[in-house]
Amino acid sequence: MKMTYRDVGIDREKIKNTHKMVEKFISTTHRFKEGILSGYGHYAGLIEIENNKVLALHTDGVGTKVLVAQMARRFDTIGIDCVAMNVNDVICVGAEPLAFVDYIAIKKPNKKLTNEIMKGFVKGAREANVAIVGGETAVIPEIITGNNHAFDLAGTVIGIVEKGRLILGDKIKISDVIVGVESNGLHSNGFSLARNVLLKKYSVGQKIYEINNTLAKELLKPTRIYVKPIMEILNKMEIHGLAHITGGAFTKLTRLHKDVSFKLDNMPEPQSIFKLLKTHTKVSDKEMYSTFNMGIGFCVIVPDKVVDNVIKIFKKYDMKSSVIGKINNGKGVYIDKVKL
């Protein structure tokens, strides 16, 4: 039986319509303060401050990946995911992450649970070179239901960048090259579909031959943090666009530039978890590349002349990267000539 994101209650068209409604409301508040450069639609909200500096703000959670953590009783990596989902987005505008605040909602006070989540936050902060400067732990049993390990979490990051060094995608041009950087598996998106499909076939602790891992360990691999290599690349060479591949997967590339086409015709072989999902969902490649990162967690769009140096920097940080496509005439995102 074919199963898509819509079948598990995630309708992308309805989500887009909701986003448009939210944008209308929040844009009315921009007149309350001077210096608002961007408030919606990109990877971070942007506020110009003194001396041509721009603050970048982003907030995010880890979605239903928390449910897998609860089922597996493993909580030491989910904080890494939360940091990653925030810092990986804020660097997409060229900003260096400065500070992070967290929000943990729990059913009841649970020292072990909170301790393990905080371990992940600290490890993620170390990888991102960002300080955790505060947060909130809320005990709300009426909202956080389920077993005594039930929880949710989210975070907010603030970054800074010189106004003249903002990366907004407006410099992307025809013949630019798209460099893709490997992911660490599913990262933190597509879990509503992955859970609904895989947990009907396997138990969370079951070792699965096709992925040579237990389902819990595979699904809870923490989201890769790309801050350090991206900061080095930004300081050394010309960059035209940056994209964190999360919800909506490669369709998100269009938020960088709507009047070019992103032709992805050299994608690497996806990791085994994606092959397993495709086998059980029975969906098209188009659906897979519109839902999952398919082994690429981040994209860097650059002139051809700097490609080799970009790949060398990622290699320095033990991250595999390669040219996965180019910028062409037209509009939209294409995977081997199929428009997403």
CATH code, domain with 316 = 3.90.650.10
Do both 331 and 196 map to the same domain? yes
- The pLDDT value given to residue 337: 82
Mean pLDDT of 293-316: 97
Is 80 exceeded by the pLDDT of residue 43? yes
Mean pLDDT of 287-293: 92
Going by C-alpha positions, the residue among 188, 191, 178, 218 that lies closest to residue 298 is 178
Do both 129 and 222 map to the same domain? no
Is beta strand 296-302 parallel, antiparallel or unpaired with respect to 151-162? unpaired
Do both 122 and 67 map to the same domain? yes
- Residue that is last in its domain, among 165, 194, 215: 165
- Residue that is last in its domain, among 143, 165, 187: 165
Contact 102, 55 (CB under 8 A): no
DSSP 3-state percent helix, strand, coil across the chain (nearest 5): 40, 25, 35
Residue 129 CA to residue 134 CA, distance in Å, equals: 16
Residue 274 CA to residue 285 CA, distance in Å, equals: 11
Is beta strand 261-264 parallel, antiparallel or unpaired with respect to 321-328? antiparallel
Contact 84, 185 (CB under 8 A): no
Instruction: Establish if 289 belongs to a structural domain.
Output: yes
Mean pLDDT of 119-148: 94
Angle, CA 261 vertex, CA 7 and CA 17 arms, to 5°: 40
Question: pLDDT averaged over the chain?
Answer: 91
Do both 73 and 119 map to the same domain? yes
Instruction: Establish if 11 belongs to a structural domain.
Output: no
Mean pLDDT of 126-141: 96
Instruction: Establish if 17 belongs to a structural domain.
Output: no
Contact 42, 93 (CB under 8 A): yes
Distant-in-sequence contacts of 278-287, Cβ < 8 A, 24+ apart: 279/210, 280/3, 280/197, 280/198, 280/201, 281/2, 281/3, 281/4, 281/193, 281/197, 282/1, 282/2, 282/3, 283/2, 283/3, 283/4, 285/335, 285/336, 285/338, 286/335, 286/338, 286/340, 287/4, 287/5
Is 80 exceeded by the pLDDT of residue 207? yes
Is 70 exceeded by the pLDDT of residue 259? yes
Q: Tens of pLDDT along 220-242?
A: 999 999 999 999 999 999 999 99
Do both 101 and 137 map to the same domain? yes
Is 80 exceeded by the pLDDT of residue 36? no
User: Residue 281 — very low, low, confident or very high, per pLDDT cuts 50/70/90?
Assistant: confident
Mean pLDDT of 58-63: 95
Do both 214 and 322 map to the same domain? yes
- The pLDDT value given to residue 41: 60
Compute how many other C-beta atoms are within 10 angstroms of the C-beta atom of residue 329: 9
Do both 185 and 85 map to the same domain? no
Residue 331 CA to residue 313 CA, distance in Å, equals: 30
Mean pLDDT of 274-301: 92
Contact 99, 158 (CB under 8 A): yes
- The pLDDT value given to residue 145: 86
Total domains in the fold of the chain: 2
Structure tokens at 72: 């597996």
Instruction: Establish if 22 belongs to a structural domain.
Output: no
Residue 230 CA to residue 109 CA, distance in Å, equals: 38
Is beta strand 151-162 parallel, antiparallel or unpaired with respect to 53-61? antiparallel
| Residue numbers of the domain that contains 271 | 177-339
Residue 161 CA to residue 88 CA, distance in Å, equals: 15
Instruction: Establish if 226 belongs to a structural domain.
Output: yes
Do both 125 and 269 map to the same domain? no
- Residue that is last in its domain, among 165, 198, 219: 165
- The pLDDT value given to residue 213: 92
Percentage of the chain lying above the pLDDT 90 cut: 76
**pTM: predicted TM-score of the whole model, two decimal places:** 0.92
